Amino acid sequence: MSPHHLPPLNPPRPGPRPLPLHLAIQLAILSGSLAALPLWRHGSLPWKPPLDRAAAELAARLAAAGTEAGPAFVRALAVEAAGRAETFLAGIEAYRRHPYRRDLADPPTAWRAGTTRLLDYRPPGGGGPPLLVIPSLVNRAYILDLTARRSLMRYCAARGLAPFLVDWGAPGPEEAGFTLTDYVARRLEPMLDHVTALCGRPPALVGYCMGGLLALALAQRRPAGVAALALLATPFDFAAGNPAEAALAGALGPLLAAALAGGAPLPVDGLQTLFSLRDPGLALVKFSAFAGWRRSSARARAFVAVEDWVNDGVPLAAAVATECLLGWYGANSVARGGWRIAGQPVRPEAVTVPTLALVPARDRIVPAASALPLAERIAGARIERLPGGHVGMLVGRRAATDCLGPLTRWLARHA
């Protein structure tokens, strides 16, 4: 191959997924200001209560300026919208071309079945109390080992614990027909037994987000085989904290059911589309801010690391997508006692092991109103309210102080 035709060492990222959807949503948001102007002038545009006062003050200033100010205001509004669009696009392009690439090597694999691996992060000598760390099925496991300095797994190992990380991988031929029962009974239970055999004692379970519900089911099914349970930003009441989202899930139910009826996995971009609908303006805020950051700064690298993980999702087996999207979100089956594993309802009241729930205050993915009822229904559970967000609790600048430190100290006492 000619040197002139060699591929670049770091080709640009495809952008936040799905990029066309993000661009279309933000264009609609920015152009919507011009479209909504006539409604505002006629007093028929509803404002969020926190914006009422500012809107009234602006209307009064325009009225005082007279009718001649109208065209100038429209031009200024158009210029502002165009400027914000340029900033957003600049942030997207800066992200796509940032030189950061995750280069951490995986630790040894302690157990494997299908596309699922159990990664062994034990320190030299084997460490102390074992941990079985269970992430969500819809994102890659390495959010728990993002970088050498932002890693729950390495933090635990450095403090004498013996952590093992479940790496689900993407569904392969075997997992394509899996249900959540299969993931608990055919993946987590054998891994639980394997860790117990390796370490000579039952592990504590650490579940993050959706993984917390899988850990909850495992702790209920195997009470004698689990030392303790830690739930990190784990959802429970899917109708709490965001009723509009629950209504949207119900409205999309028939479409999702039709899309999943053929048994094909729900693709990554389908999942990312659903996530985008939860907070349509988030991408505009994030990438517009990123446009102004120094590319070599630590916070820019951290931003890119997290965004790479967000966009590195995996498909979801059709039956699992049906259980989660139509059952958990659409019917609120978890809080209502309708979610079952191997035919048995998953009930927090049935969990008897020591339990810790870490609930971030600024979590947009799992609002506190969704997570708190779970801990409140487990007898004796300890609840820690954290100041961070859903991902920031693990990899933010204050993660070690606010989350990882309290978590590892509690695990050292109870695991």
Residue 65 sits in the same domain as residue 124: no
pTM as predicted: 0.91
Residue 57 sits in the same domain as residue 122: no
Question: Strand, helix or coil at 333?
Answer: coil
CA distance 257 to 262: 9
Measured CA angle at 61 (ends 59, 64), to 5 deg: 110
* pLDDT value for 280: 86
* pLDDT value for 4: 47
Angle between helices 298-310 and 282-290 (to 10 degrees): 150
Q: Does any domain span residue 331?
A: yes
Residue 56 sits in the same domain as residue 120: no
CA distance 278 to 309: 18
CA distance 248 to 264: 23
- Strand 382-386 and strand 355-360: pairing? parallel
Residue 50 sits in the same domain as residue 192: no
Domain count, the chain: 2
Cis peptide before 130 (omega within 30 of 0): no
Give the CATH number, domain containing residue 127. Answer: 3.40.50.1820
Residue 192 sits in the same domain as residue 48: no
Angle between helices 282-290 and 69-96 (to 10 degrees): 70
Angle between helices 210-221 and 189-199 (to 10 degrees): 70
Residue 78 sits in the same domain as residue 130: no
Contact (Cβ atoms closer than 8 angstroms) between residue 210 and residue 235: yes
Chain segment 187-217, per-residue pLDDT in tens: 999 999 999 999 999 999 999 999 999 999 9
Chain segment 366-384, per-residue pLDDT in tens: 999 999 999 999 999 999 9
Contact (Cβ atoms closer than 8 angstroms) between residue 228 and residue 356: yes
For residue 169, give every residue at least 6 positions away whose Cβ sits within 8 Å of its Cβ, in sequence order, or none: 114, 115, 116, 117, 314
Residue 71 sits in the same domain as residue 165: no
Token pair, residue 299, equals: 């916070």
Whose tokens are 């209307």? That residue is 59
* pLDDT value for 45: 72
CA distance 225 to 204: 9
CA distance 408 to 93: 39
Token pair, residue 30, equals: 């920015």
Name the residue among 223, 178, 227 with its Cα closest to residue 199. Answer: 227
Name the residue among 65, 63, 201, 86 with its Cα closest to residue 132. Answer: 201
Residue 212 sits in the same domain as residue 335: yes
* pLDDT value for 353: 97
The sign of the dihedral angle between the CA atoms of 257, 259, 265, 267 is negative
Contact (Cβ atoms closer than 8 angstroms) between residue 314 and residue 272: no
Q: Does any domain span residue 286?
A: no
Angle between helices 69-96 and 298-310 (to 10 degrees): 80
Domain boundary among the residues 47, 72, 96 is at 96
Q: Does any domain span residue 58?
A: yes
Residue 361 sits in the same domain as residue 405: yes
* pLDDT value for 68: 61
Q: Does any domain span residue 335?
A: yes
Domain boundary among the residues 96, 131, 161 is at 96
Token pair, residue 213, equals: 């519900």
Identify the segments of the chain with pLDDT beneath 50: 1-4, 6-7
Q: Domain residues for 170?
A: 109-240+315-414
- Strand 204-208 and strand 130-134: pairing? parallel
Q: Strand pairing partners for 117?
A: 112, 167
Residue 205 sits in the same domain as residue 126: yes
Residue 349 sits in the same domain as residue 379: yes
